[in-house]
Amino acid sequence: MSRETYVTEALGGIYERVKAARVLMVGAGGIGCELLKNLVLTGFGEIHLVDLDTIDLSNLNRQFLFRHEHIKKSKALVARDTASKFNPDVQLMASHANIKDPQFSVAWFKRFDLVFNALDNLDARRYVNRMCLTAEVPLIESGTTGFNGQVQVIVKGKTECYDCNPKEVPKSFPVCTIRTTPSQPIHCIVWAKSYLFSNLFGIDEDESPDLDNSVNSDNASEIENLRRENLELKHIKDAFGTSEFTRLVFEKVFKIDIDRLLSMEDAWKHRKAPVPILYEEFQRSANAEVKKAASKVASDDQPVWSLAENFVVFKDSVERLSARLLQLQKNAAEGSTRPVLSFDKDDDETLNFVVAAANLRSQVFGIERKSKFEIKQMAGNIIPAIATTNAIIAGVCVLQSFKILNNDIDHAKVVFLSRRPERIFSTESLQPPNPHCGVCSVARCGMEVDVSKFTLHDLVEQVLRAKLGYSEEISVVTDKLLYDIEFDDNVDKTFKELGIDDGTFVTIIDEEEPEGSTPRVNLELLVYAKYVIVVLVVVTVALTIHREGLGDVDVNYKLTSIPEIPRKPVPKPTEEANEVPVSNGKVAVSAGLKRKAEDDELVEVNTLDTKKSKVETRDEDVVVVDDDEAIEID
């Protein structure tokens, strides 16, 4: 009997479309493993998988494509190798990379019939959402938070996008990235609390069994690395309670482990690499700078401690916790369970350890340090990932994909999973795009330029004003404010100097409000560097512009189309006259905010948050739920 017999009977005529489908899956974590299994067993013809993370011991309780011998290996590559055995007829391609890398361009996204998001953070989710809107590829967004989950279908021009509704800031964290590529303070806090504290004073997370039986030519080097890590950990615990214990801990987690991460060169091609820190250097700095006792430093919870102060508190807390645990072990009855310490945010000694360790790790990865007061607020919000929830949500993703492949978007739903006994599933009809959304309710256009020669002045004068009819009241934004009527310091800089390259999105915000009307919607320009071959039908704009006092000016750019840029809808009346739309409304800008660039560097001005709020919904100090964070849970 053919392996296709039952799935053909179950799916009927749509199965041929499933077999012919080319899909992209972003993320190979909790949801990703279950989703990839489903896609392969369903028989999707070609599946591309992208994930930057490596496999960690804590993943193994719910990410069932991975085994112990896979620890430290690429999630994407291992998931591909494991899942390919389920159905050899499926083409599986995997990339151990960041989905935001330049190689994954809009033209690349256009190759797919459907994209599945199984990501662990808001920033990456928003990026994929934007790329799918630009490439006009349907997206199925999913996430879980404990026992809750959600699946959302996103189709450009027909449904709400990921950013149409503001996201509440969840109070939990991503598990998969805290050990390898932290990017937020919360990642370092969770690392200090759930990994380092637990390994030293609580239940050992990473003590691994003998791996001799799994050694082979493919994983021999990984097994050797694990043996070395186990020996290092054992050596540290052998020194527990001695004067050397603190130094050994410090050197392992802030020097040896960081050097090992740096050996993963591919992980740092497009992000800032960590910088190891040395015990002796910090000891000298602490001796010179810190004139008060560690207990006095730790008692002041409002300021952000200096690096030297964090070092002093780290040493003191390790010594105090070691002495406490040794006393508990000494007093324990013979034959009883080995005593351990548990983190408690109201226990000053355990909190001081987490604060100091988290801030030192933040220094290693170039992340903002936090005060003891702030860390205390953040340190208790852990929501566990539930394997069953991931499996259910992954199944719903595939069911929704059938409706997209069958061109039956009207019957697709937003699906919510909860633990309510009276109703586990609830659904909502897909809503039309939010007309005030700064991500999907915008005009879009591609522009090919020589980024080494084309300047911001060329963009403003030749393209925006002369060609597209903008007035002087505009703002130009990428991840920074580049230009507005009160900030023109960058006009003579080339795109290259401004950090604009192939694949960069440049957003134009219309600030003019004609009497009786509204500003135009944002214009989103996607830049194609001139040396890149663009797989698009390009409308060449080769014209000569004559402006008074300038003479003839040659235009050296190409637009993929001449965009239609409609006016924004009139906001609904509100009780408060000053209220504005959340993500794309007009906000009054105070005068006198213009600043001069110093040393020819980009300058961020006070209006930047205002401009960026018109581009997309912002989440300051976003804390992402586990590695399978939900979009928004009712």
The tokens for 399 are: 């069911």
Q: Which two tokens stand for residue 219?
A: 């994983």
Q: Is 164 a catalytic residue?
A: no
Radius of gyration, alpha carbons of the chain: 27
Please answer whether residues 31 and 143 qualify as being in contact, where contact means their C-beta atoms are separated by less than 8 angstroms: yes
602, with CB counted inside 10 A (0-12, 13-18, 19+), is: middle
What are 8's two structure tokens?
Answer: 């053909």
Structure tokens at 206: 């990473």
Identity at 151, one-letter amino acid code:
V
Q: How far apart are CA 188 and CA 518, in angstroms?
A: 45
Q: In 3D, which of 521, 631, 527 has the Cα closest to residue 585? A: 521
Give 298: exposed, middle or buried? Use CB within 10 Å, 0-12, 13-18, 19+. Answer: buried
Beta strands in 523-587 (DSSP E): 523-529, 544-547, 551-554, 558-559
What's the rounded Cα separation, in Å, for the pair 363 and 271? 15
- Helix, strand, or coil here: 10? helix
- Catalytic pick among 176, 188, 437, 440: 176
Q: How many CB atoms lie within 10 A of CB 624?
A: 27
Quick one: which of 219, 267, 315, 236 has its CA closest to 52? 267
Distance between CA atoms of residues 38 and 93, nearest Å: 16
Pairing of strands 544-547, 413-417: unpaired
Contact 75, 122 (CB under 8 A): no
Catalytic residue ranges: 176
